Structure 1
Amino acid sequence: MHTEHAEPAAPPARPSYSSGTSDVPLIGETIGTNLLRTAERFPERDALVEFATGRRWTYREFVADVDALAVGLLESGLEKGDRIGVWAPNRAEWTLVQYAAARIGAILVNINPSYRVHELEYVLNQSGTRMLVAARRFKSSDYVDMVERVRPGCSSLERVVFLDGPEWAELSRHRVDPARLRRVAEGLSADDPINIQYTSGTTGFPKGATLSHHNILNNGFFVGELCGYTERDRVAIVPPFYHCFGMVMGNLACTSHGAAMVIPSEGFDASAALAAVQAESCTSLYGVPTMFIAELDLPDFANYELSSLRTGIMAGSPCPVEVMKQVIERMGMSEVAICYGMTETSPVSVQTRADDSLERRVSTVGRVGPHLEIKIVDPETGLTVPCGESGELCTRGYSVMLGYWNEPDRTAEVIDSARWMHTGDLAVMDEYGYVSVTGRIKDMIIRGGENIYPREVEEFLYTHPDILDAQVIGVPDERYGEELMAWVRLREGAEELTAEALREFCAGELAHYKIPRYARVVDEFPMTVTGKVRKVEMRERAKEMLGIG
């Protein structure tokens, strides 16, 4: 019997899923063991340089000081699993505490240097911190006074050690007993929790993302691998250590490769960053886009010798195309990488590669990292969307946190039963696996039924000759539900920019519904300490300013 054969059905569009392959295996050891291995290979190479004070450590000296402090922590009664808080700006002691805690399996609690009394008390209690190592002060904050105010309400806190005092000297200068440290190390697992990082929630109290040796050691290592790090690299670590950008992508990327950690200053200082690069012949420079903007905008920028720079990382928030181009052209960072991630994923999931075209590096955040998986799902159904469609970015693999400290319900809200971490970020994946992050699900603006991603409008505003930086938010509108408002920072010497002039600039270039109705010129945006713009706060202030509900 003869039957007509129908044309076979076309295969469905490729799903937005990608996994990172690698010939380089994951590291299955603790941070302490990995540091010892590096020091054995490169004992006389620089490990740590504090530019402001001129203090420096070779790997041999660094391990000796880490071990002396580790013994001090043991003598203080700290054991595996106990929490030790560190509340200080970027300085050498922060790094020593980071590695000493890892040597004995104590869990490091990273405390934001900008926290005030209320937040400090919350994280000390929520984490059950037994010991706190703190600076005496930073900027306008008197840490000694604030600690005294919270101590009565912190039942777990047994000891506070302030840096630059006799207690720190005593704690950090113990005689090392190698056999004792070896016994402690033998009782540690790479899967043990080793770090609690409080993520800056825009509502409610921050959540303590709990990360293991395996999480952060491997993430730092593979970020460094994709940057091409070897023992010859010297990394200017500008972002704060209390954040993953500083302590993982910075410190752990260096120590897992034998590279040098260079601390330009306690807090961000554009001049100090470039001076450190020049003086220490740094090959890599880190920062969020606002930091690079400030560095490029220095009046004496041309006087800095930056020819040693090869690479670096720009992360923390979307990178404007124009800034990326200037970093490559004016700073000589031809291999600069864009990284995307979040604290809960240790942090990096997606990264550009050195051989990616400029177009790829300015229009995407790169491809999935080695040994990780990513997918983009419909936020409503949870189903993977086809390539080219927008949805929520999810990550799975070695980098996903153990959970939020003592908060299983909040953990279950973001990590599903298949161990996918739901980021809350909107993204699109192309057929080659490159990802473009288009905004937060909560930041998406819906005007008259049209979905508008602020990033697209911001990128266009950066092409205006007078605009240095731009942020776009949605504000309530009776007719359309939401309207667009642009906040802009102008270049020095630029004339005032009105909303009308801005709309004229956009006319014919952007679809009419994407053109901002309102504009405001500001000197700075409300920011988190990690360099993320606080759009929630901008929206509240905009509503007050415009007199709308």
Structure 2
Amino acid sequence: MAQLSYSSGTSDVPLLGDTIAGDFDRAVAAHGEREALVECATGRRWTYRELAAEVDAVAAGLWASGVRVGDRVGIWSPNRAEWVVVQYATARIGAILVNINPAYRVHELEYVLRQAGVRTLIAASSFKTSDYAGMIAEVRPRCAALRQVVLLDGPEWTELHSADLPEWPELSADDPVNIQYTSGTTGFPKGATLSHHNILNNGFFVGELCGYTHEDRICLPVPFYHCFGMVMGNLAATSHGACVVIPAPAFDPAATLKAVADERCTSLYGVPTMFIAELADPGFDSYDLSSLRTGIMAGSPCPVEVMKQVVERMGMSEVSICYGMTETSPVSTQTRRDDSLDRRVSTVGRVGPHLEVKVVDPEHGRTVPRGTPGELCTRGYSVMLGYWEQPDRTAEVVDAARWMHTGDLAVMDDAGYVTITGRIKDMVIRGGENLYPREIEEFLFTHPDVLDAQVVGVPDAKYGEELMAWLRMRPGTTPLTAEAVREFCAGRLAHHKVPRYVHVVDEFPMTVTGKVRKVEMRRQAVEILGLADEARTDSGAADRA
């Protein structure tokens, strides 16, 4: 009988049963004089003891202002030290931190404030072209629950600090501590509600698999408002007594490379597009990256060639691939430090400690044999409490047995390693053939002139859908035409997998976290190719998220 696509993560290390504040207190007691946080843009530094004092002062200030256990406190800011302080201060008093995407504008801000019932909003005054203070002033009259606004660059932030520490409330590790809004591609985003137990353990075990100790220094160019920054970064660091290094308020390849070199970082995080930008930076060879040992690449599939360069040119021999989603705190599978390069470039690793994963037939839900594609599901301590005040939406993705249905297509091999082949909604059906964009993207990436490739489905009157490749070219090369791509694919890729359309761009439409927005690419493709009529008769390709 064939082995089923199911795997559970065994571990000799038990789950942490404490709250985030309890775990942080232990780190302060053990590593009080070690550096905990560095902000490169301002040169500010905190030891664990100094950071704890700042966290307690802000927690006391929030408590004095009337914030209580379960109240929602919003944070709307690019990466900065105060973001970290607010994360741990709200956890200290049992408030629920609501992460607000720095790219949001008035409409989205108002929705989140109202949907989560945010009581206190802590925000940057502005950043680049974003006038946060102005947008807050516009929506505040329409947000009944919002009683307090604290601008990080104004006197309100200083006034929030209090030296009069209250008796901290008793909390449970199962209490909600964080709401993160997942990217909404149709309708409004949903607020994944996460507990102390969810995110503290996920950060801890991600750090365990990276081999973190108090000697590590983790460079975080990824946004704090997302799990990548605040869980896999901040919580992985503090649960091991390591140091968080903030290279810049928003991703900047040169600033990131400089931070790694100046601060002797041992670990670097990023989505593939960030590593591509760093490797392509004109001054790359001038930075001493010899301190790097490990890091995490996640968020979207990593092209094989990029991973090879990260290992060879950046020295990240133990770099880890992580896979997950906000609703699972986020990591479900991860490659190990001793995995071969082939494992790290072709899979997203094995199930994490104390978790379960399985691959099921999307139609009937039964677990499929290993080697058979299907939908990846995960279960365990990491699965969210639910979408904030949306039990119906929760029930759509978390089944009665507490399995989280990811919507991702995957294959599990005989050793339990998982390969993500695409999103169920990204799969292109051309003339009845199921086509998986990632396979085609990996092939196009082998073209010497291609810097990056993304493939989407576009509506077609004859086949239902056709393939369109969006390409970014290497500097100084000639843009590829559809004919040139067909010639490159000839005899090497099945004819039905060869993109019919080719579109060369300088940049892909991106989310603030660096993920490619394929839904936006499909919408633009309909206009670029003049396929409005086809889109009306076959809306699937244009509307899928």
Report if the CA contact (8 A) 1:67-1:176 is conserved: no
What is the rounded CA distance, in whole Å, between the counterparts of 1:299 and 1:56 in structure 2?
29
Matched letter for residue 343 of structure 1: T
Q: Residues of 2 paired with 1:509 and 1:205: CA distance? A: 42
- For the pair 1:53 / 2:42, whether they are aligned, the reply is yes
- Aligned twin of 2:382: 399
Shift in Å, 1:181: 3.6
**Structure 1 runs (4+) greater than 2 angstroms displaced:** none
Counterpart Cα distance in 2 of 1:481 and 1:81: 49
* Aligned pairs (5 A) from 1:253-268: 253-268=236-251
Alignment of 1:229 onto 2:212: yes
Which has the greater radius of gyration?
1
Corresponding position: 1:513 with 2:496: yes
Aligned twin of 1:289: 272
Q: Secondary structure at the match of 1:428?
A: strand
Partner of 1:168: 157
- Tell me if structure 2 keeps the 8 A contact 1:104–1:181: no
The match for 1:191 among 154, 171, 174 is 174
- Quote the offset at 1:543 in angstroms: 1.1
The SS at the match of 1:141 is: coil
SS of 1:146's partner is helix
Q: Equivalents in 2 of 1:294, 1:419: separation in Å?
A: 39
Q: Could you tell me which residue of structure 2 aligns to residue 91 of structure 1?
A: 80
- Partner amino acid for 2:512? V
Q: In structure 1, what is the equivalent of residue 524 of structure 2?
A: 541
1:126 is matched with 115
Cα shift at 1:496: 1.9
1:9 corresponds in structure 2 to: none
SS in 2 for 1:148: helix
Contact kept? 1:84, 1:133, Cα under 8 Å: yes
Give the Å deviation of 1:527. 1.1
Question: Separation in 2 of the partners of 1:253 and 1:162?
Answer: 28
Partner of 2:100: 111
Deviation at 1:17, TM superposition (A): 0.3
Counterpart of 1:432 in 2: which secondary structure?
coil
Q: What are the ranges of 5 or more consecutive residues in structure 1 without an aligned counterpart?
A: 1-11
Alignment of 1:13-412 (within 5 A): 13-172=2-161, 174-177=162-165, 180-182=166-168, 184=169, 187-412=170-395
**Partner deviation per Cα, 1:135-181 (whole Å, 9 max, x = no partner):** 00012110111000000110000010001211100102x1143xx34
Alignment partners' CA distance in 2, 1:307 and 1:465: 28
Secondary structure class of the residue paired with 1:138: coil
**Kindly, what percent of the aligned residue pairs are identical?**
74
Distance 2:346 2:493 in 1: 18
The C-alpha deviation readout for 1:414-435, integer Å capped at 9, x for no partner, is 0000000000000000010000
Q: How many residues align?
A: 532
Amino acid at match of 1:452: L
Q: 1:467 aligns with which of 422, 426, 450?
A: 450
Distance 2:455 2:195 in 1: 37
Query: Equivalents in 2 of 1:307, 1:534: separation in Å?
Result: 34
Instruction: Please give the secondary structure, in 1, of the residue aligned with 2:191.
Output: strand
Q: Partner letter of residue 340 of structure 1?
A: Y
Distance in 2 (CA, whole Å) between partners of 1:529 and 1:164 is: 22
- Amino acid corresponding to residue 81 of structure 1 in structure 2: G
Residue identity matched to 2:65: S
Q: Does 1:456 pair with 2:456?
A: no
Gapped runs of 5+ residues in structure 2? 535-545
Superposition TM-score, scaled by structure 2 size:
0.97
Matched residues in 1 for 2:129 and 2:183: separation?
A: 21
Q: Name 1:4's counterpart in structure 2.
A: none
Distance in 2 (CA, whole Å) between partners of 1:68 and 1:521 is 52
Distance 1:515 1:207 in 2: 36
Judge conservation of contact 1:51–1:276 (CA < 8 Å) in 2: yes
RMSD between aligned alpha carbons? Answer: 0.6
Which amino acid letter does the alignment assign opposite residue 517 of structure 1? R
Contact 1:349 1:369 in 2 (8 A): yes
**Structure 2 residue matching 1:424: 3-state secondary structure:** strand
